[in-house]
Amino acid sequence: MKTPSRPRMDVNLEELDQIIDGGMRAPLSESDGEKLKAVLHILAERAKPRWRTDRENTRSAATAPQF
């Protein structure tokens, strides 16, 4: 069974750098704050480990290289 795909979001690092730089000089605008929040939530979601089923773990162990 295929796991559901995570939402795709294109990240413009230059724009994020500008938002952060501006945030160091003045409070963030609401739209800039929402952009940063959305990117952070997506990064946090991607950092979570993907749980594997017992069947997948067994298959991986059987095909893992032995050293």
- pLDDT tens for the chain, 67 residues: list them: 565 666 676 778 999 999 999 999 999 999 999 999 999 998 888 888 877 766 666 666 555 555 4
The pLDDT value recorded for residue 46 is 84
Structure tokens belonging to residue 37: 């929040």
Structure tokens belonging to residue 1: 């069974």
Spatial distance between the Cα atoms of 35 and 18, rounded to a whole number of angstroms: 12
Spatial distance between the Cα atoms of 52 and 30, rounded to a whole number of angstroms: 38
